[in-house]
Each structure stands twice: as structure tokens, then as C-alpha cells.
Structure 1
């Protein structure tokens, strides 16, 4: 199984916003840090905003920020809104009905258990867990450099 780019950038965007909090984050800055286009990032932001993980502030000094505390944003929830599905093989979903082994297949049961374990582990982590060292991440993301370039000074934590 491989997670989509949308999921990876959605999680990265949430991490960026958590590290940059309480300030608003600029989409252009996030896109630049991750080496993606603004338009691609807007496509990613839409479902996570629609589902209550981010909020947008319009206007000249607008941007995005977390819509709830980082400890309330679960990784599994984010992935459920950004991935199309989690079918590990054709044995899942509507094609399962056409399988002659349906409900009697050890392979399908093994894949079901593996997916349940994957979900269980992801449900243990939040965005707060991913930003446990905000100063290191702030440096890695270049947040200070971006703000200094715009003449901004960060407030204390």
C-alpha cells in the first residue's frame, strides 16, 4: 500500500500550521517549502478545510491555521478524508462479491487484519505528536527565514 501525495502533503501542511501557530500560515510559503505549486496545495487544503482540520482567513493578511488544537487532529481521520480508499487488493470493495472464496478466504482475512492494525497504529497519533520538537521543525521548514524576509518577528511561545 502507498499513501497518496495528497495525504502526505495534507499531513505536512497540518504540521507546518501547528509549528507556525498561533500565526496564520501563507499557502505560498507552505508550497515553496514543500516544492509544490500553490494550486496543488489549494487542492489538498480544500478537503481538510471542509472536514474541519484547517480554517482559512481571507484578505491581504489572510492565510490558514489549524481549526482545532493539534492534539485533536488524529492522523487516521486526516487520511480517511484524503485517501480515495484503502482496498489492499481486488478482494476488497464491490469486487469482493464476485469472488468465489468470499467470506471463506484466509488471504482476505489476513489483509483485513493487516489493515485493521495499520488503522489502529495511525489512530494513536495526532498532529501534536508529530510536532513534539517545534523549534527543530521550525528551522527545518525555514519559517524564521521566511518571516525575516518579510520583516516579521515571531512572538514568544
Structure 2
């Protein structure tokens, strides 16, 4: 199974916001940190906001932040939100196929079991788990430490 670019960047956005915990982030800063086009990141942001995983704050000093605690956002939740389909074969879950074995084939059962194991494993990890090494992530993404930000204000 391969996750889409959108899912990959959705997780990255959430990781950035979790690393920048307690402060508003600008989408442009997030996009620059990952060398991604801002319009592409904006498109990805929309379902994250609609689901409540990200909050937006309007206005001159506005920005985005996590809508919930990073520890309560599982990777499974993000992947299920962002992925359109988990079909791993053309016949998966009743898809159309001209395979003569489709009625009595156990491939779908095996693929369903594998998919559930994959999603269960993702459910064991949260966004907080991914940003445990905040100092390294902050430095790598160019997020100013809290003390430095306070001095700039």
C-alpha cells in the first residue's frame, strides 16, 4: 500500500503544528519548511480544518493550529480522512473485474485482513509520537524556539 502525496503532506502539516505547539503558524511558513507550493498545502489543509484536526484563526495575526491535542490525533484517523480509496486490487470489495475466480477467491479476505492490520498499526501512533524529538524537528523545519519567539515579540 502506498499513501498519496496529500496524506503524506497532511501528516507533515500536523507534525509542524504539533512542533509549534501553543502558537499560531502561517501556512506559508509550513509550505516553505517542506519546500511545497502553498496552493497545494492549502488544498490539503481544507479537509483537516473541516474535520476539526486543524483550526484557523482569521485576521492580521491569524494562522493555523491543531484543533485537538496532538496525542489524540492518530495516524489512522489522518490516513482514513485523506485517502480516497483503500482498494488494493481491482476486485477489492466488489470492484468490477473479469476474473473468473472472483466469487470464490480468498484474495479479498486476505487483502482486507492486511488492510485492517495496517490501519490498526497506524492507530497505535499519534501525531505527538511523531514529534517527540521537538528540538531536532524545530531546528530542521526552521521553527523558532519559544524563548526566541518571545524575545522577538
Offset at 1:100?
Answer: 4.3
Unmatched runs of 5 consecutive residues or more in structure 1: none
Provide runs of 4+ in structure 1 moved above 3 Å.
Answer: 96-103
Does residue 153 of structure 1 match 2:149?
A: yes
Offset at 1:60?
Answer: 1.3
CA separation in 1, counterparts of 2:150 and 2:27?
Answer: 18
CA separation in 2, counterparts of 1:101 and 1:48?
Answer: 40
Contact 1:96 1:102 in 2 (8 A): no
For residues 94-145 of structure 1, give each alpha carbon's deviation from its aligned partner in whole angstroms, at most 9, with x where no partner exists.
4258754345312222212111111110111110111111111111111129
CA separation in 2, counterparts of 1:143 and 1:154?
Answer: 13
Offset at 1:81?
Answer: 1.1
TM-score with structure 1 setting the length = 0.87
For residues 20-73 of structure 1, give each alpha carbon's deviation from its aligned partner in whole angstroms, at most 9, with x where no partner exists.
010101100000011111111110000011001000001111110000000110
CA RMSD in angstroms comes to 2.2
Deviates more, 1:35-44 or 1:97-106: 97-106
Q: How many residues align?
A: 151
For residues 65-96 of structure 1, give each alpha carbon's deviation from its aligned partner in whole angstroms, at most 9, with x where no partner exists.
00000011011111111111110011114425
Q: Which residue of 1 aligns with 2:4?
A: 4
CA separation in 2, counterparts of 1:60 and 1:98?
Answer: 57
CA separation in 1, counterparts of 2:86 and 2:94?
Answer: 13
1:12-23 to 2 correspondence within 5 Å? 12-23=12-23
Deviates more, 1:41-50 or 1:87-96: 87-96
TM-score with structure 2 setting the length = 0.89
Q: Which residue of 1 aligns with 2:119?
A: 119
Unmatched runs of 5 consecutive residues or more in structure 2: none
Contact 1:19 1:134 in 2 (8 A): yes
